[in-house]
Amino acid sequence: MTTHADSPAVRRLADWDHDRLESLAEEYDTPLYVTDLDRIKENYTRFSSAFPDAHVMYAAKAHTGKSVLEAVLEAGGDIECAAWGELQRSIDAGADPNALQYTAVNPPDRDLDYATDLAEDAPGLTITIGATDTLDRLQARGYDGRVAIRINPGIGTGHHEKVATGADAKFGIPYERVPDVADRVRDEFELVGLHAHAGSGVLTEGLEEHCRAIERVGEMARRVGDENLEFVDVGGGYGVPYREDDEPLDLEKTSELVRDAVGELDATLKLEPGRYVVADASLILSEVNTIKEAPETTVVGVDASLATLIRPAMFGSYHPMLNVSAPGREPEPVTVGGPVCTSADVFAHDRPIARPEREDVIAIGNAGSYGYELASQFHSQPRPAEVALEDGEARVVRRRETLDDVTRVERE
């Protein structure tokens, strides 16, 4: 019997039930996000089982949907938040505020106001700071509670330069300044941990560089006295294969390399997977509305757009695509784009897909991480609905917006 821990390491687009997807598109209309909550629980449990003596938190920014947060909590996970809204949404989903970790990156006043007010009744809340200026602002609010220091290890990793946070001056205290900052935190707050995040989307072949950053975190923990720290948090960034021929992350090797890199610690090791937990648990269904033969390509127009999924336009990201209406048709190279008036609104160029026809349903895979989270109302397009699958049942967890939803804030 398959358990959450030994479920398949990756769910390819071809593994979904195509007939069910087509029926969901018919019942709930398109574009439509479909999220498998059972898969989220499997992914979290598999990852945490690979690090049995570590504390694994879910990085909420990957997908803050209430049903997703509830699934993580049901699987036994805690939640790491990067903004006040994520703190509130985690609490609304049932999280204990004492178990939350708030990683403040240039936090606006409202964020710090919310976090410090929350800590008055939830002293277990941890605030992770990446600038001494944030310490000044916390002190001005009368906060003297739990603080972790975010380190800038000077090494960035990941699938794109825009997510290589470990080498970006925006993130964390410069490495050699950490001991002095730790002394200050000990004097004025409760120093509970160190934190770093090198980058995002790391697969097995990128682990060596990723672990170089983790080594520096472990070294700094020992310099500042890890025996007096509660935890050392090496962040997330663990990827999933977006391309069909990419191999999934080797979790056994990852666990071994990360443990070796961080070295001997008295403090508890923390990790914060986000993408790994949700990416392959969600996809987008979109209907074909236009077929246009152009001299250089065949253009397939769909009703999803960069407002539905911005990752291809923002990062040049590859997302697998499948014609779920007729997967057995002869594949043809096509360019798939949406209705937004910009050349950036293209999901794929010259991609071989089973020959699309009008009203076919196209699935866009691996949409769970930074998919709905970055959806917008560009072109006054209402955001799509989201349907969750759990225990064999489907339910709407986010209704489709209407134009009234788009314009309501202008009238209030």
**Residues forming beta bridges with residue 129, ordered by sequence position:** 149
Residues in the chain: 412
Report the alpha-carbon distance of residue 306 to residue 314 in Å, rounded. 9
3-state SS assignment for residue 319: coil
Q: Is 275 assigned to a binding site?
A: yes
The pair of structure tokens assigned to 91 is: 């609490």
Sign of torsion over alpha carbons 249, 252, 255, 257: negative
- Percentage helix, strand, coil for the chain under 3-state DSSP, each rounded to 5: 40, 25, 35
Element (H, E) at 231: strand 231-233
**Is 211 part of the annotated catalytic residue set?**
no
| Residue reference for tokens 């000044």 | 136
Nearest to 100 by CA among 73, 133, 74, 62: 73
Nearest to 54 by CA among 353, 316, 365, 262: 262
Q: CA dihedral in degrees (18, 21, 25, 26; nearest 10)?
A: 70
Q: Is 237 assigned to a binding site?
A: yes
- Chain-centroid distance, C-alpha 210: 18
The pair of structure tokens assigned to 26 is: 């018919």
Q: Is 272 assigned to a binding site?
A: yes
| Amino acid (one-letter) located at 63 | H
Q: Is 273 assigned to a binding site?
A: yes
- Alpha helices, DSSP H, located in 199-351: 207-224, 251-262, 275-278, 311-315
3-state SS assignment for residue 95: coil
Report the alpha-carbon distance of residue 408 to residue 412 in Å, rounded. 7
Of 169, 294, 341, 409, which residue is the catalytic one? Answer: 341
The pair of structure tokens assigned to 119 is: 């800590």
| Residue reference for tokens 């504390």 | 55
The pair of structure tokens assigned to 95 is: 């999280």
Q: CA dihedral in degrees (293, 299, 304, 310; nearest 10)?
A: -160
Report the alpha-carbon distance of residue 61 to residue 385 in Å, rounded. 19
List residues forming the annotated binding site.
237, 272-275, 311, 370
Active site residues: 341
Binding-site residue numbers for pyridoxal 5'-phosphate are 237, 272-275, 370
Annotated binding site for substrate: 275, 311, 370
